[in-house]
Amino acid sequence: MELFLNEFESFVGVNFWTMIFAWCNLIILYVFLRKLLFKPVKKMIDDRQREIDDMYAGAEKNEADAARLKAEYEEKLSSAEAESEDIIRTATRRAQLKEEEILRDAGVEAARIIERAEEEITLEKRRIINEAKDEVSDIALGIARAVIERDIDRAEHDKLIDDFISGMGDGND
């Protein structure tokens, strides 16, 4: 049984040198794993975390830029709307002024045309009156010549005037 206990003690028992050797192995394994495994894994995790943080910062920056651009766009849009309303008001006012100017010019032109027509009517009346005076004086001269050339009685005188008037009507048509 003693052999069994020795074997059991050696199997289960704590040997000081074995324990130191196990601890040294553990420390060497820890240093080795830390050097080869933990540091690169930690570096990879830190790099990935930094990448994620940069992505979030970039996304926040892009979101802020988008909000700024949206605000600028809305400001420009409202400015453009105000400007278009101003342009429409200005164009409407110009059109009204042009309409008034055209109407005023048309009134002036119509008055000028009416005045010219009245002048032409007056001149035409004078011309017709002068022609009538000339005809009457020609008639009177013709009658006077006829009377002077012969001495006639009243019946002949009336017949002479009638002949002369009918001759004037035939010759002037």
Return left, alpha or beta for 44; rule: phi > 0 is left, psi -120 to 50 is alpha, else beta: alpha
DSSP state for residue 1 in the 8-state scheme: -
Per-position DSSP letters for 50-119, written without gaps between them: HHHHHHHHHHHHHHHHHHHHHHHHHHHHHHHHHHHHHHHHHHHHHHHHHHHHHHHHHHHHHHHHHHHHHH
pLDDT of the residue at 173: 44
Residue 14 structure tokens: 């704590």
pLDDT digits (tens, 9 = 90+) for 149-169: 666 667 777 787 778 777 765
What is the residue extent of each domain of the chain? 41-171
pLDDT band at 17 (very low <50, low <70, confident <90, very high): confident
Model confidence pLDDT, tens digit, residues 96-118: 999 999 999 999 999 999 999 99
Tens of pLDDT, residues 38-70: 888 888 899 999 999 999 999 999 999 999 999
CB 168 within 8 A of CB 139: yes
Please check whether residue 136 is in contact with residue 161, taking contact to mean a CB–CB distance below 8 angstroms.
no
